[in-house]
Structure 1
Amino acid sequence: MIVSPPSATFEAARREGLPSGSRLQSTQLSNGLQVLAAEVPEARRLRLVGAVGVGYLDEPMAYRGLAHLLEHALFLGSDAFPGESELSQWVGHLGGRYNASTDETTTDVHLHLPPGAAEEGLARLVDLLCRPLLVPERIEHEVGVLDAEYRARLADPALHRLAALGRLYRPGHPARACHAGNQVTLGQDAGRLVDQLHDFHRRHYRPERMALVMLGPLPLENQLELLKRQGHEIHAAAASPSSYECWGRTSRWGEPSGVAWCLPQRLASSSPTSTLELLWPLPEGLARAHPEWLAALAARLADGSLASTLQTSFGLEALDVSLSSKGVGQALGIRLGLAELKPHHGDDTASLSTLLATLLATCHAALDRALQQRLPRPPRVTSDLDDWPRRQALRLVTHAQHPEAVYTMPPRAAFATWLTRGQCRWLWHCPSPRESIGDIAWKTLEETGTRYCRLSLSPPLQVSALPPRAAPRIASEPSPSTAWHSMPGCLQHDRHLALWWGWPTWPTDEPEASWCLGWPADPTGHVLRLAHWQRRCLALRQAAAAHDLTLMTGSDHRGDWLLAWGDPSRLPSVVEQALGQWSTTRRDDSPAMSHPATGLIAQRLLCELETSPIPGATGSTTPHSGIAKPTPTLLCWARGSLDAEAARQQAHRFAGLLPNEPPWHTEPPVSSERETIWLTPQGTDQAVMLDIAGRDDTPRSRFLLQLVAQCHDAAFQHAMRQRHGFGYVAAVRYREAAGWPRLGYVVQSPHASVETVRLAIDDFLQDQGVSLAPLESTDFSQRLGRLAASQARPETRLEGILRIWQALRHRQLRAIAPEADDASWQVPPWEEEQEVLAALVASDLTALADALVVASLPRRWWLHAPQ
């Protein structure tokens, strides 16, 4: 058994970006299984991940989609838990969630559960992974589900990107083919298919190719004990070693070149947006040997300088640098999101080939400069606790399959032959074939309908790179010479400025502070305005990250806001520049950006719950008392290692950067209760969502709607998928729009008509909407307790700052501001929420369900049908 030294547990957790006070330890069991435990004292939920080092490049070409089908089949019953929907019902009852994914070389299953469910959750996860039943009748039905999923994803640009990317690979390599899986690729013989699944599982689901990761508040020692006990249940003898190595893991790349692609004709978009990806493939062993050097190189390319350079001549919306873009294996990648592929000024008749060549030359020059410069230290790791266990599990199984190679050459010299212009491949997503270069003929991939053409800028065009520009300068201001202290509270409140200062404090080794600013703005154009603002702040956001600063910008029906967090001496510079970009955005007369639809139609519908006007909203019913004060032009909250007097001075500076005009009315826009909205067609599926809003935006309404979603989700999914057979997408999801609670009952179907699905949703609510809500007192108390745990103290500092900030925005705009001289903080929002939860009773949930069924709550239908 290999165990990390206990003395390293705190340091390892810090390096991996876990919150202060966390502990981390990994172990390899005698059967070869890798396990990792992370104790995060502030974690409200338990995260469990099981990963296997097998993906779609390992499956036989005669059964493309087999790895994906096996991932689905894992959830159809196992030895100890044979029920077909047993896991989903158990997780739903606990108020948790689960998901799984299959990638090129890895498969993972992840569960989010209450901490008390650790032992049973781990037992279910291990049984699911290692002892699936693979019942033929269930498998045959799941092939139909997979086929529906495949057809739905034919409307997703992500699938067409992978199809086009394959044109850069060697002929015959499995990565060139589509591995999503459907009725055709998985064959017509159900018996042989099940045999293939059993064989694939025996070959690859072996303990030495697997990893289990747990993150939660449980003590590290308890987590390790659970992981070891369940991990030893995976018997190495039960799995036969693989008799072959899939050549899909060998080098996939053809000769360096470029490929342009666009969506099938039926999905063609008039949007001018495009994406250009530059890729430099890297040897797997070399990349794993020097991860910190590569991370530093990526940080240099994303420090704001390249973004500033490109934005002088192009409508650059996004610039991402990664070391593992989806579908490319190990490679350095630069992804450019472009509002339109034409210059801002100058010669508008420049050919597309010239524009592409300029973009490529500028990125190549930036890489050349980075390789010559002294690289910065890798950026500070800030981990998303939801994603962290999954990334760790995938890392463990990947490393387990590849013994570490020893490279004696320094990394700069070792990568010199790989990070050159001659080794670059590029992929351009253009809006339509009409944007083609010259007379190059477009081709169509038969299976997916993806249109593509191979491009080569040879003989090389004599195009120069754009002159490099420096990243936005983040100035540092000296701390005030005299300290002036004040108790946390409201330092000022008038019609121009409301300034809150102080609280909460967290233990930290370094000075850190945060500024949150919000101001009223036109609620009808907030989505487009935010997109423009984020585009203008792209280089600033990257420059801030290079200084370990966080900059977030937001906009909703209450107004616009920003958050800056990090070194207190540099925050004023970041805030002032972000406000300057917002002021420029208000005067921006550029055409509205129209982005092509991405993802599943159901995902698009659920996103509408967070951005569209609330159906039938009439304002908050929160009771207030006191003397009303006008809404201020600027609301500020400063906290951390920041002097109160300095905060006051800086807040006045910030207020002077905003226009002095009457604030906008900030109530959410009201729309008719029975409104029906049709989405712009995307693909061939039908989709329907019933959007139901709470009566108000109080914590009570938010919690009751969350409980309704928990009660309805599993039954709704079963009714729509199994009983009606509509397709693989059917769910009840809770969302919020500017704090306003909303439920979405969403179904996506490849064959049922919109009206059929709509009637089925109505029938479900009439038949089961109320009957599912009355809970036994014990069950209700348990659900309430789990909801209370999920709403408890913040898990991370950033979450805590955001929760307090949004509560302050809500109170400032809705409630009565206290007088400055006696103002103090009320209880934290999470403590207030706990009081609301403690007051709920089972009859409250029944009453809300009844109101939902009789349609007394605001509602709206969202519909989608093919062209």
Structure 2
Amino acid sequence: MVQVAAGSHAEPDDLPGLAHLLEHMLFMGSRQWPVPGSFPALVAQWGGRFNASTAPDATRFFFSVSPEGLQPCLAQLTDMLAAPLFAPEQVGQERQVIDAEFHTRLADDDIHAQAVLATQIHPEHPLSRFSAGNARSLDGDAELLAERLTQWHGIHYRAGSMALVLHGPQAPEQLQALAQASAEQLMAGRAPEPFALPLFASGQLPRLVQWQGPSSQAECLVLYPLSACDVHGAAVRWLCDWLNSAAPAGALGYLRDRGLLDELHATLRADAGGQALLRLELRSVDAEPGLLLAELDGWLQAMAIQDPAQWPQDARRTMAQTAFDLGPQGDMLVACRHYAERLLTLPAEQVLDLPGVALDVLSQTQWQQLVGQLTPANRLVLQRLPRLFGAERCAYTDTPWRALALQVAPAAVANLQGRAGPCLGPLPEAAEGLRWSTLLPGLRLTRFAPQAGGLRTRLAWCWPESEASRADRRWLQACWSLRSEALQQWGKQVGIELSWSLAPGQLVLDVMGPPALLPGFVRELLQQLQAPPAAAQLPLIERRSRRWMQQEQDALPAWRLLQTLEQERSLSAWRPRDPQLLWQHLCAQAQIVWLKPSRWPEAERSQIAKLLVNLCPALMQPFGWQCPMPPLAPRQLQVSEVSCKHTDRAQLLYLSAADDSLQEAACWRLLHHHLADPFFAELRTRQQLGYWVVARLHRRAGRAGLLLLVQSPDRSHRCIESAVDAFLQTSLQDLGALSAEHLQAQSAHLAQLLEQQRQHPQQRFEGLWEDCVWQRDDQLAAEQQALLQLTAAHWNAFVSRLPQSARWRLLSRQAGSD
């Protein structure tokens, strides 16, 4: 992960989007690697992934590859950062890609919210500018634009203004040597520090701004500008915890109890000179903003007189120490991004302390200095409405908006006496349960020996096709996610991550965290799921479920096609009208697939067994789940149109394996290895069909296949289809001409990558899960052996069958269009 301390805020006023364009241009050739698109090819060679992004205050580049690929990929990325070419022809082409990306992003509410916020920000502050970039903002001669890119790059892309984070199994000395070699190739020195400019002009606040975005759902964003704010300090952490807490005394819990709020998400965005912007995303229950804000003010007034000395700060520090000792969990790229940000802003001794072990004790003075800024006179409210008439329009995005005076009635101080705050205590001990030796026939259990570090487990509740539709499972997900909300917030303090998701025929729970705490956490979570939802929670559960369904329908065309690819058979499931009966029905019919770490304490295992049987009595019946996705008809092309709300056209072509044999799976894996990068290079880089171009190995119902996906803002479906089909035809000719030596070398290389994948904790876990669901025995190892045994005769026979393989072409169609 490389982070450059310059983003859209550092752009010249006359070229909005220049930082974003430069990010793209770094992939279009450098001094030692002049061929455009060669970096994606190198990353693909080492079985990896990469990406880049431009933020207001930073530009980030990352890749993740096998250990052997770290040195060559870092060498090329360093050359890209140090010596990009900025060929005028490529600049002109990437400007069009930026424009395509901009038009795709117009389907996202975030770019519209940013445009509306810009109209209210102090005109001298960079947040007031358009920053995404498009053909209009970057208009002009390509050669002059290349010169401006060169100048801006020379100012900002310097070693002193960059952070590099490396993570791998190599010895620290090796990683340090790689980092040193990279730093020596970069321009020395530092970029100029940003100026501290006021966020809002005097007298600008308070204000209410109503606006209309692509989404049909209403939402409020409340913004408080802060000064003298330590964004990494104890006061900010406690404030966000109290605001986000669903506990009775937390802002979310307090406002929910009053029937005013469904969801609240508080975050802080740092700005220059100790300034910051506190963002409260509020999803209300159709309540008037004035009433909601008045109750929020009452809660803030009550919190302002709190004495932090009465809070369990020692307990919080103990929990932070537990998380710190465990280290970062999940995708390491997320942790690397946090480390890179902290490297550029904090002393070295504080960089690794993400949980906040070393934070000072919070004093009442520090607390009041922060909370005292959250006043009715010091806020901006952005209210998104489904419809807005008679409004002004934002430049570039054409977002409708209008500003109104914000008047809120004086609020009474909230009474928080007797209301519990965020839970920071230990988990209760496990009670007696069932003997784990009593195996449950409706539980498909796979145990695995965990590697060092954190533990991870996954449970999937699954139903017969006629017993639970996707809507039913989404409703239960809303119910259980609400019930587990407070425990989830507790888990974050000790390094436990919890997530719910839907899969075909399943409701999936993922939990990862410290080995000593994870079994008790899972047991406590299952304990909280035992009771049916209270009557007061049912409206919130229904609204949450409907909102998730609406988000699926509002998704970009490419996402809509991916959703449809996993579509289940259309069967009418019986659904009780009474929510309590629905909960009972779903729990009574569910069986479970569980990937479980071995060697859990007996007390925890027995209690978990008891809780599972109490919750899901069908576990006592033989396991009966089958994947509800219909197979594709062999040797046929199936075509489906998918309704979308956005104007971009997306097309997905899915090719499915003929059978489940290991030889077939190995051939499809090798096919993806050969086609993924050329597909991107041809359709995205050369033909510029659109911003979103991807070829991916994809298992559908456990069977291998390949998906080719393109989303374009301006090309027709016929154009996309022709380009994809022509690419496939040309590629198949090339694949059939592979020599036996080249095939053997590629197969051996891919088998080596699979072995490294089996050793990678996250990829190993996903492979184990696939084995658990589909009842296989180490599929990755078996495919690895199949690759090593693959002959030219097998490969040529596979290539010759590809034109007759089962295919599914999915096309987006804007709702209401011809």
TM over 0.5: yes
Q: Residue type of the partner of 1:595?
A: Q
The match for 1:518 among 440, 457, 461 is 461
1:529 aligns with 2:479: no
Counterparts of 1:691-770 in structure 2, within 5 Å, are 691-695=654-658, 704-736=667-699, 739-769=702-732
State the 1:66 CA deviation: 1.0
Alpha-carbon distance change, 112 to 299 in structure 1, aligned in 2, over 3 angstroms: same
For 1:860, the equivalent position in structure 2 comes to: 809
Paired residue for 2:396? 447
Do structure 1's residue 205 and structure 2's residue 160 form an aligned pair? Answer: no
Distance 1:742 1:602, change over 3 A: farther
Aligned to 1:666: 626
AA aligned to 1:763 is A
Any stretches of 5+ residues in structure 1 without a counterpart? 1-48, 343-349, 616-630, 816-826
Partner of 1:555: 502
Does the CA-based 8 Å contact 2:106-2:112 persist in structure 1?
A: yes
The aligned residue for residue 780 of structure 1 is: 746
Q: 1:71 aligns with which of 17, 23, 34?
A: 23
Q: Counterparts of 1:367 and 1:734 in 2: how far apart (Å)?
A: 54
Tell me the SS of whatever aligns to 1:98. strand
Q: Deviations over 1:211-253 (max 9, x none)?
A: 22211111111111122123212242xx7x76x6654x53323
Find out whether 1:304 has 2:268 as its counterpart. Answer: no
567, 572, 589: which one pairs with 2:523?
572
CA distance in 2 between partners of 1:592 and 1:479 (Å):
36
Root-mean-square deviation (CA, aligned residues, Å) is 4.3
Matches within 5 A, 1:104-253: 104-236=56-188, 247=195, 249-253=196-200
Q: 1:364 to 1:715 in 2, by over 3 A?
A: farther
Contact 2:301 2:413 in 1 (8 A): no
Per the TM alignment, residue 569 of structure 1 is displaced from its structure 2 partner at its CA by: 4.0
- C-alpha separation in 2, matches of 1:481 and 1:175: 58
Q: Is the 8 A contact 2:97 2:690 kept in 1?
A: yes
Paired with 2:684 and 2:433, the residues of 1 have a C-alpha distance of 67
Q: Report the Cα distance in structure 2 between the residues aligned to 1:213 and 1:701, rounded to whole angstroms.
A: 39
- 1:61-88 CA-to-partner distances (Å, cap 9, x unmatched) read 1111111111111111111111122222
Question: Tell me, what secondary structure is at the counterpart of 1:211?
Answer: strand
Quick one: distance in 1 between partners of 2:783 and 2:274?
Answer: 45
CA–CA distance in structure 1, aligned partners of residues 273 and 704 of structure 2: 40
Distance 2:218 2:272 in 1: 19
**1:433 aligns with one of 378, 387, 392:** 387
Equivalent residue number for residue 615 of structure 2: 657
Which of residues 370, 376, 388 is equivalent to 2:335?
A: 388
Q: 1:765 to 1:385 in 2, by over 3 A?
A: same
Are positions 1:323 and 2:268 aligned together?
A: yes
Code of the residue aligned with 1:780 in structure 2: it is: Q
Q: Which residue of 2 aligns with 1:45?
A: none
Instruction: Report if the CA contact (8 A) 1:515-1:571 is conserved.
Output: no
Letter of the structure 2 residue corresponding to residue 232 of structure 1:
E
- Quick check: 2:219–2:281 contact (8 Å CA) kept in 1? yes
Shift of 1:394: 3.1
Partner of 2:567: 612
8 Å contact kept, 2:39–2:77: no
- C-alpha deviations, 1:816-841, integer Å up to 9, x for none? xxxxxxxxxxx666555544554545
Kept after mapping to 2: 8 A contact 1:316/1:535: no
Aligned partner (choices 545, 550, 556) of residue 601 of structure 1: 556
- Give yes or no for the alignment of 1:808 onto 2:772: yes
Which secondary structure state, in structure 2, belongs to the residue aligned with residue 163 of structure 1?
helix
* Residues 1:294 and 2:236 aligned together: yes
Instruction: Please state how far the C-alpha of 1:442 moved relative to its aligned partner.
Output: 3.6
Which of 1 and 2 has higher RCO (CA within 8 Å, sep 6+)? 1
Preserved CA contact (<8 Å) 1:297 1:370:
no
Q: Secondary structure at the match of 1:232?
A: helix
Aligned to 1:58: 10
Q: 2:285 matched to which residue of 1?
A: 341
- 1:99 maps to a residue whose letter is N
| Partner SS for 1:99 | strand
Aligned to 1:686: 649
Partner Cα distance (1:596, 1:498) in 2: 32
- Offset at residue 309 of structure 1 (A): 3.6
Q: Is the 8 A contact 1:803 1:829 kept in 2?
A: yes
Q: Secondary structure at the residue paired with 1:80?
A: coil
Q: CA deviation at 1:204?
A: 1.2
Which amino acid counterpart does residue 224 of structure 1 have in structure 2?
Q
Query: CA distance change for structure 1 residues 331 and 735 in 2, over 3 Å: closer, same or farther?
Result: farther
SS in 2 for 1:386: helix
1:242-281 pair list within 5 angstroms: 247=195, 249-254=196-201, 255-264=204-213, 267=214, 269=215, 271=216, 273-281=217-225
In the TM superposition, residue 330 of structure 1 has moved relative to its aligned partner by: 6.3
Cα distance in 2 for partners of 1:780, 1:750 equals 36
Q: Give 1:56 deviation, angstroms.
A: 1.0
User: Secondary structure, in 3 states, of the residue corresponding to 1:139?
Assistant: helix
CA distance in 2, matches of 1:502, 1:280: 49
- Please say if residues 472 and 543 of structure 1, whose CA atoms lie closer than 8 Å, have aligned partners that are also in contact: yes
Partner of 2:581: none
Q: After TM superposition, give the deviation of residue 55 of structure 1 in Å.
A: 1.0
Write the distance in 1 (CA, Å) between the matches of 2:433 and 2:608. Answer: 15
- Report what 1:27 is aligned to: none
For 1:181, what is the secondary structure of its paired residue?
A: coil
Partners in 2 of 1:260 and 1:575 — Cα distance? 43
Residues 515 and 204 of structure 1: CA distance in aligned 2, closer, same or farther (over 3 Å): closer
- Classify 1:458/1:196 alpha carbon distance in 2 versus 1 (closer, same or farther; 3 Å): same
- The change in CA–CA distance for 1:424 and 1:367 in structure 2 (over 3 A counts) is farther
User: Any conservation in 2 of the 1:804–1:828 contact (CA below 8 Å)?
Assistant: yes
Q: Which has the higher helix share?
A: 2
CA–CA distance in 2 between the matches of 1:318 and 1:845? 53
Which residue of structure 1 lines up, in the alignment, with residue 354 of structure 2? none
- 1:411-442: CA deviation from partner (whole Å, max 9, x where unpaired): 652353333332753544524135x9xxxx64
Q: Distance in 1 between matches of 2:273 and 2:647?
A: 29
> Which residue identity is paired with 2:747?
S
Q: CA deviation at 1:57?
A: 0.8
Hey, what's the Cα distance between the residues in 2 that align with 1:282 and 1:610? 46
- What is the rounded CA distance, in whole Å, between the counterparts of 2:260 and 2:709 in structure 1? 35
Within 1, Cα distance between the matches of 2:285 and 2:440? 47
Aligned twin of 1:627:
none
CA separation of 1:412 and 1:828: change in aligned 2, threshold 3 A: farther
5+ long unaligned stretches in structure 2: 352-358, 571-588
What is the match of residue 585 of structure 2? none
Q: How far off is 1:600 after superposition? A: 8.0
Deviations 1:482-519 (A, max 9, x none): 999x9xxx75143xx437586425557x9x89684634
Provide closer, same or farther for how the CA distance between residues 599 and 80 of structure 1 changes in structure 2, counting only shifts above 3 A: farther
> Mean alpha-carbon deviation: is it higher for 421-430 or for 685-694?
421-430
